Structure 1
Amino acid sequence: MTDAPVTVLLRAWQAGEASALDRLMPVVYAELYRLAMARMHGERSGHTWSPTELLSEAFLRLSGARTDFQDRAHFFAVAARIMRRILVDHARASAAQKRGGRVRAVTLDEQLIGGGRPEQLVALDDALAALADVDARKAEVVELRYFAGMTQQEIAQAVGVHVNTVARDLRLAEAWIHRQLLEAD
């Protein structure tokens, strides 16, 4: 799948062409489902969300979003961010109910991003939000890598920087987030 068809359909959909959404969904569904599966991988057993339900909720939020999607990469980055937000909100509610809202810090690694306990996801989200306050681009690079599953080359294209900058941003952001998680513990 190339960028052009998705980008063209996104722009037509945003321009109000109702049939564009019907043509867009079959083109992007498999990739959106892969993102949902990746988000759900490693979640605790008995999680209340299935990948299909996560995808459905994310699509509802995407369809109501007032985002000017620039291209395919931007669309999938927003979709991944929405899925993360859904799971983090669920984790926050779960942690608040079960543990009085107490959150425990954890380290940053791909297994954690994929699952674990709700309080781990909340701690990571808090650290990522703090990073966004300090350096928005580095936070976006982390989101695109760990939550959207993009390669460094794809991130470089989406963010508009060189791939070496992406690699450097990832190293610095991971160290910063790790320090934040340790300080929070």
Structure 2
Amino acid sequence: MQINLDNVTQFINQANLEDQKVLNDLFDLLYDKVKQLASIQLNKLNPNESISATQLVHECYLKLNNSKSLSIKNRNHFYSLSARCMRFYLVDLVRQAHNQKNEGIHTELKVTQLIQQDDLDFKLLELDRLLEQLEQIDEELASITELKFFGGFTFDEIADIKGQPKSTVFKRWTMAKSYLINLIEEGQNQTDDNP
């Protein structure tokens, strides 16, 4: 089957994604959107960050290519997996920098689009930790947050990925923001209590 944007889901369902050529064809076709996702993630980082969108896409491809059992449902699910791969790569990059005590990588993220407060910044590792905590509370809320924040997906796209109505996704996003604000406040209170 010849792959194109009109038959991506059908192609994914019929193809053996463990076949290198099949994954290459899929990645080539969807490259522009994956690179857009990479740019969205990098725009949330300090502009002095040295990694490029192209490099981030390449790392995502390698991670997907090295996956032993790659299961993809449709095009948006592929984008979701790509956003997750990029998140994990960036978090690993920051962890390595912290472990090596390298002062060259500063990765503060603005979360104004998340909670609409201009004065609240926190680091990528803190965001990752918050998402892990949210995942313990509700995996679905954490997944929607990751898609919205890291993937830059619209509510319509997330609804398509999740197979849910847009109104449900929006309500879940509102709940996720509330949980995140509470987790941030709890973390700040614990820091204040332990000087």
Query: Is the TM value for this pair above 0.5?
Result: yes
CA distance in 2, matches of 1:20, 1:149: 26
Aligned to 1:89, which of 86, 92, 96? 92
State the shift of 1:106 in Å: 8.2
* RMSD of equivalent CA atoms: 2.9
Q: State the partner residue of 2:26.
A: 24
Map 1:120-139 to 2 at 5 A.
Answer: 120-139=123-142
Per the TM alignment, residue 119 of structure 1 is displaced from its structure 2 partner at its CA by 6.2
Partner Cα separation in structure 2 for residue 50 and residue 107 of structure 1: 19
Question: After the TM superposition, which residues 1-185 of structure 1 pair with which residues of structure 2 at under 5 Å, given as runs?
Answer: 4-14=6-16, 16-65=18-67, 66-98=69-101, 108-110=111-113, 120-185=123-188
Deviation at 1:110, TM superposition (A): 3.4
Shift of the 93–41 alpha-carbon distance from structure 1 to 2, 3 Å rule, reads same
- TM-score, length of structure 2 as denominator length: 0.77
**For the residues of structure 1 that align with 2:75 and 2:182, how far apart are their CA atoms?**
33
- 1:124 corresponds to which letter in structure 2? L
Does the 8 A contact of 1:124 with 1:181 survive in 2? no
CA distance in 1: counterparts of 2:97 and 2:129, whole angstroms? 16
Q: Which runs of 5+ in 2 are unaligned?
A: 103-107, 116-120, 189-195
Question: What is the CA–CA distance in structure 1 between the aligned matches of 2:139 and 2:167, rounded to whole Å?
Answer: 18
Q: Using the alignment, how far apart are the partners of 2:165 and 2:114 within structure 1? A: 27
CA contact (8 A) 2:144 2:169 kept: yes
One-letter identity of the residue aligned with 2:51: W
Give aligned-pair identity as a percent. Answer: 26
Q: Do 2:35 and 2:54's aligned partners in 1 also have CA atoms closer than 8 Å?
A: yes
The 3 A distance-change label for structure 1 pair 16 and 78 is closer
- TM-score norm. by structure 1 comes to 0.81
Question: Which of these two proteins has the greater Rg computed from alpha carbons?
Answer: 2
Q: C-alpha separation between the residues in 2 aligned to 1:36 and 1:16?
A: 23
**Contact conserved, 2:34 with 2:57, CA < 8 A, in 1?**
yes
Checking the alignment, whether the CA contact within 8 Å between 1:58 and 1:82 is kept in structure 2 is yes
Which amino acid in structure 2 is aligned with residue 109 of structure 1?
T
- 1:9 is displaced (CA, Å) by 3.5
Distance 1:6 1:167, change over 3 A: same
Would you say the 8 A contact 2:46–2:109 is kept in 1?
Answer: no
Summarize the Cα distance change of 1:15–1:42 in structure 2 as closer, same or farther, 3 Å threshold: closer
Structure number with higher helix proportion:
1
CA separation in 2, counterparts of 1:106 and 1:41? Answer: 9
Unaligned runs of 5+ in 1: 100-104, 113-117
> Could you list the per-position Cα deviations for residues 47-92 of structure 1 after superposition, in whole angstroms to 9, with x for gaps in the alignment?
2421111110110001122231000111100100110111112122
